[in-house]
Amino acid sequence: DAGVIQSPRHEVTEMGQEVTLRCKPISGHNSLFWYRQTMMRGLELLIYFNNNVPIDDSGMPEDRFSAKMPNASFSTLKIQPSEPRDSAVYFCASSRTSGQNTGELFFGEGSRLTVL
Amino acid sequence: DQQVKQNSPSLSVQEGRISILNCDYTNSMFDYFLWYKKYPAEGPTFLISISSIKDKNEDGRFTVFLNKSAKHLSLHIVPSQPGDSAVYFCAASVSGGSNYKLTFGKGTLLTVNP
């Protein structure tokens, strides 16, 4: 079975440029999460979608960040304009929620973003 | 305010011995706890979990212990193997409306020496 697929794996860009990260969740999973990992803050939840609807975006740092999930098999995280402090590893994760969410997330391999 | 803390950034043990990774939490509302394992250049993978109604959960070489009164949990790996070398993240969640939200610790790098 294919896991969560993220692209690109690595992105190096210059400050001010637009960055788009992509995610394909596991088929049949109805919850999708974007996390950011930094040395200082560890793994932080940015946004959570359930059945393609954004449920909680309280972790999105500021208006420069936006995320979409146009269908059950695709999501994007966009940063515009990008800044050096956005440099981090961005993980997408998915899960199948039922009556009781066990919290077992399936993570992609991450997209390492470097903003110069 | 860090609600889930892993105070040891790293731990080194000999192959065959026990590895004990510790995690403390401050939010008394947390009632479900998980451990994830992460290899370099890969995403975290789920390892084991425990509900607050239990104080121990075992899966093969991995056992998680929960001490609710101390707000402390630990992961025991016995016997440790070189392939266990990875970063281990502790995570916690609250049942109910926000049960999707996992709060992660910063991780402990475990190195198992042959």
Measure in Å the smallest separation between the Cα of B102 and chain A Cα atoms: 7
**Token match 């084991």: residue?**
B48
A43 to chain B: which residues are within 8 Å by CB? 44, 89, 104
**pLDDT value of residue B95:** 74
CB B72 within 8 A of CB B90: no
CB B93 within 8 A of CB A103: yes
Measure in Å the smallest separation between the Cα of B44 and chain A Cα atoms: 6
Number of Cβ within a 10 Å radius of residue A17: 13
pLDDT above 70 coverage of chain B, percent? 96
Kindly identify which residue of chain B lies nearest to residue A42, measuring between CA atoms. B106
Task: Tell me the mean pLDDT in the region A19-27.
Answer: 97
Task: Tell me the mean pLDDT in the region B61-67.
Answer: 98
Task: Tell me the mean pLDDT in the region B101-106.
Answer: 90
CA A60, distance to chain mean position in Å, is 10
**pLDDT value of residue A27:** 94
Task: Tell me the mean pLDDT in the region A13-20.
Answer: 97
Rounded to the nearest integer, the mean pLDDT of chain B is 93
Q: Do A104 and B91 touch (CB under 8 A)?
A: no
Measure in Å the smallest separation between the Cα of B79 and chain A Cα atoms: 25
pLDDT above 90 coverage of chain B, percent? 86
Contacts of B92 by beta carbon, 8 Å cutoff, 6+ apart: B3, B4, B25, B27, B30, B32, B33, B34, B102, B103
Task: Tell me the mean pLDDT in the region A18-43.
Answer: 94
**pLDDT value of residue A35:** 96
Among candidate residues B91, B111, B105, the one with its CA nearest the CA of residue B19: B111
